[in-house]
Structure 1
Amino acid sequence: MYSSAMVGGGTMIIYFSGWVSLCFLWLLSRFLNKVWWTPFRIQSAMSSQGIKGPSYRFFHGNSKEIISLRNEAWKSPMELCHQIFPRVHPHVYLWKKLYGKNFLMWKGSMPLLVVTESELIKEILNNRDGTYLKPDQPYLKKLLGNGLITTRGEKWFKLRKLANHAFHGESLKRMVPEMVASTEVMIERWKQQAGNEIEVFRDFKLLTSEVISRTAFGSSYLEGQRIFDMLTKMVLIFSRNIYTVRIPGIRQAFSSLKL
C-alpha cells in the first residue's frame, strides 16, 4: 500500500510538472510572438511598401532612443528662435530627415506610423468612413476623460457638434471682452514690474488659464487655480508614462487573479 501511494504521488507530480511546463511554453510563445515575431513581420511588410524607420529593438522598440533624444534636446536652454519642433519632438524631427515624411517607429512592441505629409493628414483627419481608428490611450483618457480626442464613432460626432456650436463665430465674439480684460490685467502687472525680469512663460500660462476659466466657466483664474494646478500635475504624470514599456500579458494576468 505504501509503495502504491508513492507511485501515485510520483505520477501526480509528473502530470503537474508537465502541465506547468506546457503553460510556461504557451505563455513564452505568446510573449515572443508579441515582442519578437510580430514586430519584425510588420517592419518587413511596411518596408516592402516603402515605409522605412528606425529598427525595432527587442522589447522596448524605440522608447530608449526617444527618451535619449529628448533628454539631449532639453539639457540646454532654447535659443531665441521659432524652431520649436526639434525641441518638442526631436525624434520625429530627426527620423523625418532620415526616413522621409512618413515613417514607422515603435513604442515597445506597438508600431506607430508617423504621417507628416499634408495631403495624407487631411485624408486621415476627415475619416468620413471610419477607416482610421484612434488608438486606445488609457493615460490620455484618464487625463482628458471621454472627450473629442479620445472618443470614437457616434459619440465623437455628438461631441464635435457641441464643440462646433461653442466655437461658432458669434459665440467667439462674445468671449472677446473677457479675453481683453484678462490681457489688460497681465499688461498692467508687467507695467508695475518695469525694470525687473519677467517670467513670460509663466505669465502667459496664467493668462491662458484665466481666459479659459472666464470664458468657459465664468470665473476668475484665482477661483479655478486649484483645478489648473491639478491638471498641470496630471499632465506631468501623463508625459512621464507616454514611453513607458510594459510586459505584454502582465496586466491581464493580474486582472484575472483579482477576479
Structure 2
Amino acid sequence: MKNSALSFLLWGIFSLLLYGVLRFIFVYWYRPRRLLKHFNQQGITGSSYKPFHGDMNDFALASQEVARSRPYSLDHGIVHRVQPFIHRMVQKHGKVFLSWIEARPRLIVADSEMMKEILADKDGHFTKPPLNPLVDLLQVGVSTLEGQKWANRRRLMSPAFHYEKLKRMVPTFSESCCEMIGLWKGLIGNGPRELDVAVELQTLASDIISRTAFGSTFAEGKRIFELQKEQVRLVLEAYQSIYVPGLRFVPTKKNRRRYEIDREVKSALRAIIERKRKALREGGSLGDDLLGMLLQSIGEGDDDDMDHLRIEDVIEECKLFYFAGQETTANWLTWTMVVLSMHPEWQDRAREEVSNVCRGKAPTAEDLNSMKIVTMILNEVLRLYPPVTALFRYTVENTRVGHISVPAGVDFLVATLMIHHDPEYWGDDAEEFQPGRFAEGASRACKSDQAAFFPFGWGPRICLGQSFAVIEAKMALALILQNFRFELSPSYVHAPCTVITLQPQYGAPLILHPVHN
C-alpha cells in the first residue's frame, strides 16, 4: 500500500515536471518560432526572436544611448530621440514590423489606416494587453476595463463630461489660473525672471483637478499627487522588468511600498468622498464638481449591478482623475510655452487674439470658443508633442488587420508620435511648427486624405476627458499670454523623453517678462 502511494506521488511529481518542461518549451521556443514564420510568410519582418527578454534590452539600450548623447538641437524632429528603437526599425522594415515583448510577438504599427482599424475594433477582437499586475496599481478605472463592464462604466461617467456641464466649471478653471498668475507676478516683480514652468504647470493642473473633480484645493490633494508620482516610478520599474508570476506577492521593500501607497491613496480619496456624502446627508448638495456628478450614480446594489457605481468604482475613477488629468494637461501646456518661446511670432499673434477677444478680462466659455489662433497652436503642439506617444492593444482571438492575418495573443503598439511626424500625412514640413495647417480644423489638417491626428486616441475608447483638457489648456494659455511674454532660458535643454507621458527631461526653465496692460 505504501509503495502504491509512493509510486502515485512520484508519478504526480514527474507529471508536473513534465508539464512544466513542455509548457516552457511551448511558450519560449515553439510558439514564438511558429508565429515568427507566420508573420514572415505575410511579408512582415522585424526583430528575430530572443528568448526571455525579447526586444526589451534593445529598447532600453537605444534609450540609454540617446540619454548619453549630446544635448538635442532646438527643433521638433524628436522621434529619433523619444522612440529611437521604433524609429530605427521603421527605417529598416517599414510602417508595420515585428518586435517581441518577452516571449510575446508585438506588431508595431505606424500606419494611420491600420491604427484606426485597430482602435475602432467593432467586433471586440482587441483588449488592453496583459501587463505585470503591479501596473494595475497605477492604471485603474474605466481606462482598464473591457467588454460590457467598460461600456457600462463609460455610460455612467459620460454625463459628467458633457460640454454643457464642463462650462459650469469655467469660473473654477479661471480662479485656479488667476491664482497662479498672481503668484508668478509676485515672483518676477518687474521682471525678467527665470521660472521652471514645468513644475509650475504641474501644480496648476493639480489644483484644477482638485477643485473641479473634488471641490477641494491643491493643498488638500498635494499628498495624493506626491504619492501618485512615487507610484509612477515604482510601477515603471516593475513594467520594465521581466514578469515572474507570483513575484508581486513576495514582501520585498518595493512591493510593500507599492501596496502602502495604493492603500494610502485610496484611504485619502475615501475620506474626501465620505465628507461629501456626509454634507449631502446634512442637507447640502453634491455640487457641480466631477465627484459630485459621479456620486449621483452610486447605488446600493451588488457587484454585478450595471446601472450604478459602487464606492470602490468611484475611488478607482478618482485615482484616474488625479493621475491622467494632471499629467497630460500639464505637459501639454509646458510644451506649448516651450514651443511659443521658440516661435515668438506665433506667441505675439496668440497674445493679440486673446487681447482682442477678452479685452483685459478673464475668458468666458464663449471667449475660449472664439480663439482660433490659440486653438491652432494648441493642436499643432499636440501633433508635435502628444502627451501619449503610443497606444497598446492585444488580440483576444484570431483576426485580420488590413491585409495581415493575426492570431490571438499578439500585442500591438500603435506609434502615435511616428504618425504625427510622418511626411506622408503632413507633407515635407511635418517636423516644423506650422499652426496654420489647422486653420480649417483638425479633420482637414493633413496633406493626405487620411486622418492622422490622434492626440486623444481614436474610436470608442477616445479619451473621455478631452473636452475638460481643452478648456483647461485654453484658459491657462490665454491668461498667461495676457500677463507675460516668455522666452527660452539659456539653461533650457531640449530633451523630450517619455515617462508615461512625453515631458522635458530637464524641466522647462523660461525667462518671463511682465506684460503691462
| Partner residue of 1:167 out of 145, 161, 164 | 161
- What are the Cα deviations for residues 51-88 of structure 1, in whole angstroms up to 9, with x where unaligned? 22222212110110011112222335554443444443
Q: TM-score, normalised by structure 1?
A: 0.80
Q: Secondary structure at the match of 2:97?
A: strand
The structure where helix makes up a greater share of residues is 1
Offset at 1:30? 1.8
CA distance in 2, matches of 1:99, 1:175: 48
Offset at 1:217? 0.9
Considering only CA atoms, is the larger Rg found in Structure 1 or Structure 2?
A: 1
Indicate conservation of the 8 Å contact 1:86/1:93, yes or no: yes
CA distance in 2, matches of 1:222, 1:196: 25
- Residue number in structure 1 paired with 2:53: 60
Task: Specify whether residues 15 and 163 from structure 1 end up closer, same or farther in structure 2 by C-alpha distance, changes over 3 A only.
Answer: closer
- Residue number in structure 2 paired with 1:140: 135
Q: Secondary structure at the match of 1:98?
A: helix
| Partner residue of 1:156 out of 143, 150, 153 | 150
Aligned AA (2:204): L
Aligned AA (1:141): D
- Residue number in structure 1 paired with 2:295: none
- What are the Cα deviations for residues 214-256 of structure 1, in whole angstroms up to 9, with x where unaligned? 1111111111000011111111112122231135xx539x99x
CA distance in 2, matches of 1:18, 1:234: 45
- Residue number in structure 2 paired with 1:223: 220
> Is 1:46 the counterpart of 2:43 in the alignment?
no
> Is 1:124 the counterpart of 2:118 in the alignment?
yes
- Residue number in structure 1 paired with 2:198: 201
Which moved further from structure 2: 188-197 or 213-222? 188-197
Aligned-CA RMSD value: 2.9
Task: Specify whether residues 20 and 131 from structure 1 end up closer, same or farther in structure 2 by C-alpha distance, changes over 3 A only.
Answer: closer
Q: Percent identity?
A: 35
Aligned AA (2:235): F
- What are the Cα deviations for residues 160-204 of structure 1, in whole angstroms up to 9, with x where unaligned? 223432221112222222222222222332222334321121112
Aligned AA (2:39): M
| Partner residue of 2:174 out of 164, 175, 180 | 180
Offset at 1:156? 0.8
- Residue number in structure 1 paired with 2:98: 104
Q: Secondary structure at the match of 2:108?
A: strand
CA distance in 1, matches of 2:161, 2:76: 28
Which moved further from structure 2: 230-239 or 130-139? 130-139
Q: Structure 1 stretches of 5 or more lacking a match?
A: 1-7
The structure where strand makes up a greater share of residues is 2
Which moved further from structure 2: 109-118 or 81-90? 81-90
Q: Secondary structure at the match of 2:142?
A: coil
Offset at 1:43? 1.4
Aligned AA (1:199): D
CA distance in 1, matches of 2:242, 2:76: 32
- Residue number in structure 1 paired with 2:85: 91
Indicate conservation of the 8 Å contact 1:107/1:245, yes or no: no
CA distance in 2, matches of 1:90, 1:242: 19
CA distance in 1, matches of 2:12, 2:125: 43
- Residue number in structure 1 paired with 2:233: 236
Task: Specify whether residues 16 and 115 from structure 1 end up closer, same or farther in structure 2 by C-alpha distance, changes over 3 A only.
Answer: same
Task: Specify whether residues 164 and 13 from structure 1 end up closer, same or farther in structure 2 by C-alpha distance, changes over 3 A only.
Answer: closer
> Is 1:213 the counterpart of 2:210 in the alignment?
yes
Aligned AA (1:73): V
Offset at 1:19? 7.0
Indicate conservation of the 8 Å contact 1:107/1:243, yes or no: no
Which moved further from structure 2: 83-92 or 136-145? 83-92
Task: Specify whether residues 74 and 175 from structure 1 end up closer, same or farther in structure 2 by C-alpha distance, changes over 3 A only.
Answer: farther
Q: Structure 2 stretches of 5 or more lacking a match?
A: 251-517
Number of positions where the alignment pairs a residue of Structure 1 with one of Structure 2:
243
Task: Specify whether residues 127 and 16 from structure 1 end up closer, same or farther in structure 2 by C-alpha distance, changes over 3 A only.
Answer: closer
Aligned AA (2:170): V
Indicate conservation of the 8 Å contact 2:53/2:103, yes or no: yes
Q: Secondary structure at the match of 1:148?
A: helix
> Is 1:113 the counterpart of 2:107 in the alignment?
yes
Task: Specify whether residues 13 and 217 from structure 1 end up closer, same or farther in structure 2 by C-alpha distance, changes over 3 A only.
Answer: closer
